Amino acid sequence: MPPETLPSPPGRWRDVARATGLLSPDGAVASTVFAEMSALALRTGALNLGQGFPDVDGPSWVRRAAADAIAPDAERGANQYPPGPGIPALREAVAAHQARRYDLHLDPDTEVLVTTGATEAIAAALLALVGPGDDVVTLEPFYDSYAAGIALAGARHVTVPLVPGPEGFRLDADALRAAVTPRTRVILLNTPHNPTGAVLTRAELDAVAAVAREADAVVLTDEVYEHLTFDGVAHVPLATLPGMAERTLTVSSSGKTFSLTGWKIGWVTGPEPLVTAVRTVKQFLTYVSGAPFQPAVALALADDTYPRELAASLAARRDLLCEGLEAAGFGVVRPQGTYFVLADAAPLGFDDGTDLCRRLPELAGVVGVPVAAFCTPGSATERALRSWVRFTFVKREDVLRDAVRRLAALAG
């Protein structure tokens, strides 16, 4: 049968493709720009500063604990289904972490749920809490899975821009107040923020808390970079603001904090009714995952040293890459946290970041990701950030030095 006579499959997959900018006018579904750029890096031998994963693995003692949990020489290890909400040791470690770091006190049995990374926590929370007729408000640009999760749930995605300026990317508080209405069921926040590297200030968080209370909305806050902030800037969890713990679901993960992104051990914490709602959906998505990784992450969470040292080394690597990008002619907004820096290619004469990213391997032997990939297709923010590119600095210093040398070709 010729392909054009195949019926187009029914269902919500098309909404997901449209929301993530992957549906072309002829109905074809493109691969993501992340996949395209990673393939380009492989094909050309360019340095891949596109996808954000570390090129050095997390602490060997944590990896040893996971290997020991598999226990290949023993009769039994942690190789069968763990309990649905996560092993007690990990739920207790998450609760202890929130208490030690933020003075947030949680019942590990009812207010902590272990998930397959932050990604599943966010998807399950959206599927649990919103549907057709509901609005979900996020910042823009946004982590790409948000648009997909909102589309899967059948809700409407409303965005509030982060605007570049001398103080970094900052929340447009007027736009926030205009975006949040009685239709808003969930405000999906992300701080420290991917891709901009912004760490929301106390005043910005106060503005979010005020509109959430006003609209009686739940705040779902993605804090996977909670420990990766620089220059003494502190991450403030939204749940610590007055009156917010009861309406906030906080999501985090071991992937970024411990350089173990492939393990996909995440968690969501919050008041029992909200966590129960997420668990109800989550148990039919993956049920459980990562049995041998859960005890290892429970051990890791008691350690504040590795994340502190990682943040310090990332700050130095940020400086290295930012200086190289500036020397190459980019306009750079220095990030206060995360793995990423956004750079404006307009001063170099490029007005289209997607086009530049496709040519960058040839021009400079480096790969980045256009910021448009983190925007709603056709939005005002996409237009405003059209010439911007995201680069990651979670690579070894020698790799970054090489990248900086290569990028200097653009200035030539």
Minimum distance, C-beta of residue 30 to ligand PLP, in the bound complex (Å): 22
Nearest-angstrom CA–CA distance, 333 and 356: 18
Please, which residue, 184 or 191, has the CB nearer to ligand PLP? Answer: 191
Nearest-angstrom CA–CA distance, 268 and 94: 9
Nearest-angstrom CA–CA distance, 315 and 268: 27
Please, which residue, 250 or 261, has the CB nearer to ligand PLP? Answer: 261
Minimum distance, C-beta of residue 193 to ligand PLP, in the bound complex (Å): 7
Minimum distance, C-beta of residue 404 to ligand PLP, in the bound complex (Å): 23
Please, which residue, 264 or 282, has the CB nearer to ligand PLP? Answer: 264
Minimum distance, C-beta of residue 295 to ligand PLP, in the bound complex (Å): 18
Minimum distance, C-beta of residue 271 to ligand PLP, in the bound complex (Å): 22
Minimum distance, C-beta of residue 253 to ligand PLP, in the bound complex (Å): 3
Burial of 81 (C-beta count, 10 Å sphere; 0-12/13-18/19+): exposed
SS3 per-residue string spanning the chain: CCHHHCCCCCCCHHHHHHHCCCECCCCCECCCHHHHHHHHHHHHCCEECCCCCCCCCCCHHHHHHHHHHHCCCCCCCCCCCCCCCCCHHHHHHHHHHHHHHHCCCCCCCCCEEEEEHHHHHHHHHHHHHCCCCCEEEEEECCCHHHHHHHHHHCCEEEEEEEEEECCEEEECHHHHHHHCCCCEEEEEEECCCCCCCCCCCHHHHHHHHHHHHHHCCEEEEECCCCCCECCCCCCCCHHHCCCCHHHEEEEEEHHHHCCCCCCCEEEEECCHHHHHHHHHHHCCCCCCCCCCHHHHHHHHCCCCHHHHHHHHHHHHHHHHHHHHHHHHCCEEECCCECCEEEEECHHHCCCCHHHHHHHHHHHHCEECEEHHHHCCCCCHHHHHCCCEEEEECCCCHHHHHHHHHHHHHHHC
Residue numbers at the binding site for ligand PLP (CB under 6 A): 117-119, 143, 190, 194, 222, 224, 253, 255-256, 261, 264, 266
Please, which residue, 252 or 350, has the CB nearer to ligand PLP? Answer: 252
Please, which residue, 221 or 387, has the CB nearer to ligand PLP? Answer: 221
Minimum distance, C-beta of residue 139 to ligand PLP, in the bound complex (Å): 11
Do residues 46 and 39 touch, judged by C-beta distance below 8 A? no
Minimum distance, C-beta of residue 315 to ligand PLP, in the bound complex (Å): 18
Please, which residue, 106 or 265, has the CB nearer to ligand PLP? Answer: 265
Burial of 351 (C-beta count, 10 Å sphere; 0-12/13-18/19+): exposed
Minimum distance, C-beta of residue 293 to ligand PLP, in the bound complex (Å): 11
Minimum distance, C-beta of residue 143 to ligand PLP, in the bound complex (Å): 4
Please, which residue, 279 or 390, has the CB nearer to ligand PLP? Answer: 390
Please, which residue, 224 or 241, has the CB nearer to ligand PLP? Answer: 224
User: Which residue number places its CB atom closest to ligand PLP?
Assistant: 117
Please, which residue, 184 or 392, has the CB nearer to ligand PLP? Answer: 392
Please, which residue, 94 or 215, has the CB nearer to ligand PLP? Answer: 94
Q: Which two tokens stand for residue 393?
A: 């600095």
Q: Residue 97: CB partners within 8 Å, gap ≥ 6?
A: 301, 302
Minimum distance, C-beta of residue 348 to ligand PLP, in the bound complex (Å): 27
Please, which residue, 290 or 329, has the CB nearer to ligand PLP? Answer: 290
